[in-house]
Structures are given as C-alpha cells and as structure tokens.
Homo-oligomer: A and B are copies of this chain.
Amino acid sequence: MGIAERKARERVHRRNVIVDAAEDVIFKYGFSAATMAQVAKAAELSKGTLYLYFKSKEELYRAIILRGFIILKKMLREAIKEGNSGYEKIIIVGKTYIEFSEKYPNYFTTILDYENDTFNLAAAETESLQALEEGNAVIEILIKAIREGTKDGSITEQGNPFETAFVLWSQFTGVLQVVKRKVNIIEHYFSLTKEDLLTTHWRMIERMLR
C-alpha cells in the first residue's frame, strides 16, 4: 500500500513549505508583526490550511526554532571534530556558538526567544518537545567535551559536568544576548564594542576552566 506513504510524504512536504513561508515572513517582519494571512499567502495556501498543520502561530514558530537548533547542533558536531583535547573542544563549542549567532542571526533570535520562553512540560506540544530535545542535544555536546577535559586534564576539576555545561552555556547565551540586543546602547553610553565584550568574556571563561 504505497498510498499512505505518498500521503505522508506529501504531508511532510507541505508542512515544510509552510515553515519555509513562515520563515520568510517572520524573519522579515518579526514574530508579532507577521500575520498568518501573510504566511498563508507566501505558502500559496489558505489560512485555514495552516491550522491543519499547526495548532497555532506559536506552534508554527516553534517549528522554526527547531530548525535553528538542528542547524546549531550540526555546526557543533562538525566543528568539534577538530578539537584535540577536552579544553579545545569546549572552546570550539563557544566559538561555534558565536559563529552561529553571526551567520544565522535570525535563527539565533529564535533560540533567544526559546530561552526566554517559560516551559510547561505538562502542556508541551509535539513541536515544543522536539525543540527541547534538540536543545538538550546541543548541551550534551558540551557535557561530553567537559567530561573529556576533566579526564585528559586539559581543564581543572569542575565538579558535576552537567552543571558546568548548563552554567557555561547560560553564561554564553547571556553575553550573546546582550551583545545582540544592547550593543548599540552600550556603545553609545560606554563606547564598548561587541568585540570588547566577547574578548573579555573569553578571558573570563579561560580563567574559569584552566
């Protein structure tokens, strides 16, 4: 029975078409300003159809967030291969995160939005859960690097690697968020550039790990 498979394929395809369209519109106008009517038009579908594939505008946005996490994960997996010690791998994770935020500013925005979203595990939708799993996968990469670093002695003892990973990641996200949202202000009031802030952040990270 190939019909069911074909239908499933078509459904997946149409879903992707919708997410593509949503990306175009939302990246252009921002989540709040973008409308479902615009997305429908861009996808060459009726508005009602969008709701056959996504429960709400939020849920559609989470599909975009998920894409962001998948790209980030892929970048991290690729980049980390080059590291020759745990320490190096940790540094690579950081550098890659920065690179991601610069290369895919729109996806990075979605990840910031995700981080700022309160999560109700009980009421979680499919899409949300997947984004969450991908977020966890990203952290796992860092956890592994930290474990390796402790084992090979390239970083000092850090206690529970899970904790270290989450805290490192949160600190990084915090700095990148400020860099993204507030550099213009900080530059205006304190004459500090993005590079200044990132350099200082790096210096601190190194002290923390060595």
- A residues with a Cβ closer than 8 A to B are 112-113, 115-119, 121, 132, 136, 158-160, 162-164, 166-175, 177-182, 184-186, 188-190, 192, 196-197, 199-201, 203-204, 207-208
Contacts and interface: CB of A to CB of B under 8 A. Distances in A.
A175 B170 contact: yes
Contacts of A162: 190, 192
Contacts of A182: 115, 119
B166 A115 contact: no
DSSP majority for the A interface? Answer: helix
Contacts of A172: 174
Contact of A132 (B166, B185, B204): B185
Contacts of A164: 200, 204
A166 B169 CA distance: 17
B200 A178 contact: no
A119 B177 contact: no
A164 B162 CA distance: 26
Contact of A121 (B167, B180, B185): B185
Contacts of A171: 170-171, 174-175, 201, 204
Contact of A119 (B119, B184, B204, B208): B184
Contacts of A163: 192, 196-197, 199-200
Given A121-B184, A166-B192, A207-B207, A116 B200 contact: no
Contacts of A112: 116
A109 to B, nearest CB: 9
B121 A178 contact: no
A118 B183 CA distance: 10
26 contacts: A115-B178, A115-B181, A121-B184, A121-B185, A136-B189, A159-B200, A160-B192, A160-B200, A166-B192, A166-B197, A167-B175, A167-B200, A167-B204, A170-B177, A170-B178, A170-B197, A170-B201, A171-B204, A172-B174, A173-B174, A173-B177, A173-B178, A174-B174, A174-B177, A207-B208, A208-B208
